[in-house]
């Protein structure tokens, strides 16, 4: 039996019945704590001798090293949902800067709370970003537990911003839409991707991953073959503008609607980068755009709802399997609500007049 110092704590390691057991005592590796750590080691051996289940063996591993091992596993797991993997990888990049050398098993709920504060105050990120960060960390810790790098998932004890607090909704006004697409027209791929989104309600990745085989110009349909849920795999009817855009892109040898010129045989995926360049160009002219490409999807949802498309149909168009998800996207304008109440009031007055006549 022996104690050793690892990552600032006393760890024990011994063999029993030709099997090696090790663990973290949870005590700082100081001379004063060595005797107490020895008692913990002895208790672990006594548990084995008395037939009790041995404590879980943990392999102390720095956060950065564990994440490096986790990412290829996550990429394979989410190969059918590359956008989900990209979000996890992006979220973990900030956690890497914060927890870099911290052993995974020593990251508890208190440290996660400090990380949340760091993200909110130093980086000034929104609640939706913190929500994404915590979900990515939760996925990582589930992996760490399976691979004996952590005892528990500390995210389970941390408050995660709710959907209502975290979801960012921005619906383009007619003026904002016109101005944005004037600048986006300088980047034809971005312009066409965002126009299809605002016309069809598709996700950015669904648009850029379209193949020519997914487009039926004669039938006027778009087939979305890949998605994270069965509801996301759907067929949409094109608007007139979408059909003009897609028909103009059906030429050439590439199988993709939005082919990459730098990587033959691949489709473009850097919508956000193109958007950032457009926003920067507008900023030089003194114009500030407070929007992101995904807002085109939000705009479609709100305009569709204001056009009296029922929520069940809208859910099918957006590729959601529940009305709750759709309600987060729909933002009804004050003017539309005012108009709706006027229609309701007129209907009520007609009913009252009808009742009076019957008397």
Confidence class for position 111, pLDDT limits 50, 70, 90: very high
Tokens at residue 32, please? 């004063």
Distance CA(309)–CA(307), nearest Å, equals: 6
The answer to whether 41 touches 3, Cβ cutoff 8 Å, is: yes
Nearest Cα to Cα of residue 145 among 59, 71, 76, 65: 59
Confidence class for position 249, pLDDT limits 50, 70, 90: very high
- The CA angle 94-95-96, to the nearest 5 degrees, is 90
Distance CA(269)–CA(12), nearest Å, equals: 49
The four Cα atoms 292, 339, 314, 183 give a dihedral, to 10 degrees, of: -20
Nearest Cα to Cα of residue 132 among 97, 94, 103: 94
User: Average pLDDT in the 89-96 region?
Assistant: 93
- The more confident residue out of 322 and 130 is 130
- The CA angle 223-271-322, to the nearest 5 degrees, is 50
What pLDDT score was predicted for residue 245? 96
What pLDDT score was predicted for residue 269? 56
Q: Where are the domains of the chain?
A: 2-49, 63-166, 174-333
What pLDDT score was predicted for residue 166? 53
Would the pLDDT of 167 be above 80? no
Distance CA(169)–CA(163), nearest Å, equals: 11
Would the pLDDT of 116 be above 80? yes
Distance CA(118)–CA(53), nearest Å, equals: 39
For strands 2-6 and 9-16, give the pairing.
antiparallel
Nearest Cα to Cα of residue 216 among 251, 243, 197, 239: 243
Confidence class for position 277, pLDDT limits 50, 70, 90: very high
Would the pLDDT of 284 be above 90? yes
Which of the listed CATH numbers 1.10.443.10, 3.40.50.300, 3.40.50.1360, 3.30.1490.100 matches domain 174-333? 1.10.443.10
In CATH, 63-166 is 1.10.150 = yes
Tokens at residue 286, please? 């003194």
Confidence class for position 145, pLDDT limits 50, 70, 90: confident
* Range of lowest pLDDT (97-111, 151-165, 202-216, 310-324): 151-165
Distance CA(82)–CA(231), nearest Å, equals: 17
Nearest Cα to Cα of residue 290 among 273, 269, 275, 274: 275
Sheet holding 215-216, edge to edge: 215-216, 221-224, 234-237
Distance CA(81)–CA(78), nearest Å, equals: 5
- The more confident residue out of 6 and 106 is 106
Distance CA(86)–CA(209), nearest Å, equals: 15
Q: Give the residue carrying structure tokens 């975290």.
A: 166
The answer to whether 204 touches 294, Cβ cutoff 8 Å, is: yes
Would the pLDDT of 265 be above 60? no
The answer to whether 226 touches 209, Cβ cutoff 8 Å, is: yes
The answer to whether 183 touches 200, Cβ cutoff 8 Å, is: no
The answer to whether 155 touches 166, Cβ cutoff 8 Å, is: no
Tokens at residue 340, please? 């709706």
212-228 residue pLDDT tens: 999 999 999 999 988 77
């Amino acid at each position: 039996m022996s104690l050793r110092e690892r990552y600032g704590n006393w760890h024990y390691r011994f063999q029993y019945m030709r099997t090696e057991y090790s663990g973290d005592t949870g005590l700082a590796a100081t001379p004063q704590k060595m005797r107490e750590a020895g008692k913990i080691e002895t208790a672990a051996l006594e548990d084995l001798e008395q037939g009790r289940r041995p404590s879980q063996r943990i392999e102390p591993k720095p956060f950065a090293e564990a994440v490096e091992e986790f990412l290829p596993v996550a990429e394979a797991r989410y190969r059918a949902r590359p956008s989900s993997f990209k979000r996890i990888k992006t979220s973990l990049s900030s956690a890497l800067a914060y927890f870099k050398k911290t052993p995974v098993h020593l990251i508890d709920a208190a440290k996660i709370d400090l990380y949340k504060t760091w993200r909110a105050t130093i980086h000034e990120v929104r609640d939706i970003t913190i929500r994404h960060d915590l979900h990515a960390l939760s996925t990582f810790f589930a992996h760490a537990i399976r691979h004996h790098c952590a005892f528990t998932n500390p995210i389970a004890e941390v408050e995660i911003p709710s959907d209502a607090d975290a979801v960012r909704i921005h619906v383009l006004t007619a003026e904002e839409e016109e101005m944005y697409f004037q600048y986006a027209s300088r980047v034809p791929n971005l312009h066409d991707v965002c126009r299809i989104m605002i016309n069809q309600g598709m996700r950015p990745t669904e648009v850029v991953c379209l193949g020519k085989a997914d487009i039926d110009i004669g039938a006027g349909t778009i087939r979305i073959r890949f998605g994270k849920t069965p509801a996301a795999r759907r067929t949409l009817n094109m608007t007139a503008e979408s059909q003009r855009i897609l028909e103009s892109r059906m030429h050439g040898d590439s199988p993709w609607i939005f082919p990459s010129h730098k990587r033959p045989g691949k489709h473009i995926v850097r919508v956000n980068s193109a958007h950032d360049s457009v926003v920067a160009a507008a900023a030089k002219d003194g114009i500030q755009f407070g929007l992101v490409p995904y807002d085109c999807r939000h705009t479609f949802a709100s305009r569709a709802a204001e056009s009296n498309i029922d929520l069940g149909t809208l859910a099918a168009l957006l590729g959601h399997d529940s009305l709750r998800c759709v309600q987060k996207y729909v933002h009804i304008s004050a003017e539309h609500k005012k108009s709706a109440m006027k229609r309701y009031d007129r209907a009520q007055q007609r009913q009252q007049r009808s009742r009076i006549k019957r008397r």
